[in-house]
Amino acid sequence: MDGIGKSLLAAGHETNYHEAGEGEALFLLHGSGPGVSGWTNWSTTMAAFSDNWRVIVPDIAGFGFTEFHEGTKYDIKLWVGHLVGIMDALGIKKASFVGNSFGGAVAIGLAVFAPERVSKLVLLGTPAGEFVQTPGLRGAWEYEPSLENMRQLMELFPFDKALITPALVQARYEASARPGSQNALRKLIPQPAAEGETLVKGFPAAALAKISAPTLVVHGREDRVVPPQCGFLIANSVPNADLHMFGRCGHWVQNEQPRRFIALVRDFLSE
């Protein structure tokens, strides 16, 4: 099945991951949402970096094909510990991280709590500060597995809906329909309020100011999942940060603007 790669044990979780290339370690971290995994987020991008870097694409604890433990409190402390556990299992002392959305938040956590493990950060559509829950995040929580529901949800993510192919919908649906998958997801993202607005909280500016790693912030101007204000907050708060805002682009920067995204990130990582 697409998405199943190698396996290792980290933070008590049997962890699924993919690996390619040699050189300095580069982690590509996936976002959240029904049917998400490292493979669905990064399978078309891995090869663009594996010529110069040792690329590692894990399924973060509770997502994809990595174990989910009932009764375990899934929070930033556990996810950072899981990431450190993966690095230790692979013999990696320090790495660069490209984090998509939720994966960017996990990368921020690592940079704040274990800065010695981080070389550089690239943060795509990453939540930060406090903002009103968007239609994309609300839809992810409310989703019930079906092909039609998956297509409707995915239409909230890119600017150009032509990117949503039947094959992509099918792959995400199949992963989302695994027993317990959606229930697990609902424990990991805020439940929408029955009435009124739901607030989503990410790392505040004071925490972001502690990041010492060089950071590239990338955001889509038309992002309807994580609002662009989050990208501005990160770029204004991290001491050594640059911001690139892609126009006519939603939440899937790496898939919506692949050539420009890859060139931008390769240049940043090679400096």
Per annotation, catalytic residue among 18, 37, 223, 237 = 223
Inform me whether the pLDDT recorded for 262 exceeds 90: yes
Catalytic residue among 32, 101, 176, 181: 101
CA atoms of 210 and 190, how far apart (whole Å)? 26
Ranges of H-type helices in 97-251: 102-113, 135-142, 147-154, 166-176, 181-186, 205-208, 228-237
Q: How many residues does the chain have?
A: 271
| pLDDT band per the 50, 70, 90 thresholds, residue 94 | very high
pLDDT tens digits for range 174-202: 989 988 889 888 887 889 999 999 999 99
Has 176 been annotated as catalytic?
Answer: no
Contact between 75 and 31 under an 8 Å Cβ cutoff? The reply is: no
Domains of the chain in start order, with CATH, are 6-270 (3.40.50.1820)
pTM score of the predicted model: 0.96
For the question of residue 2 being annotated catalytic, the response is: no
Q: Which residue has the tokens 């510990």?
A: 81
Cβ atoms of residues 64 and 35 within 8 Å? no
pLDDT at residue number 187? 80
| 104-136 per-position pLDDT tens digit | 999 999 999 999 999 999 999 999 999 999 999
**Annotated catalytic residue: which of 13, 18, 219, 251?**
251
**Pair of tokens at residue 108:** 């921020």
Asked if 251 is an active-site residue, the reply is yes
Task: Give the number of other CB atoms < 10 A from CB of residue 218.
Answer: 28
pLDDT tens-digit series, residues 247-260: 999 999 999 999 99
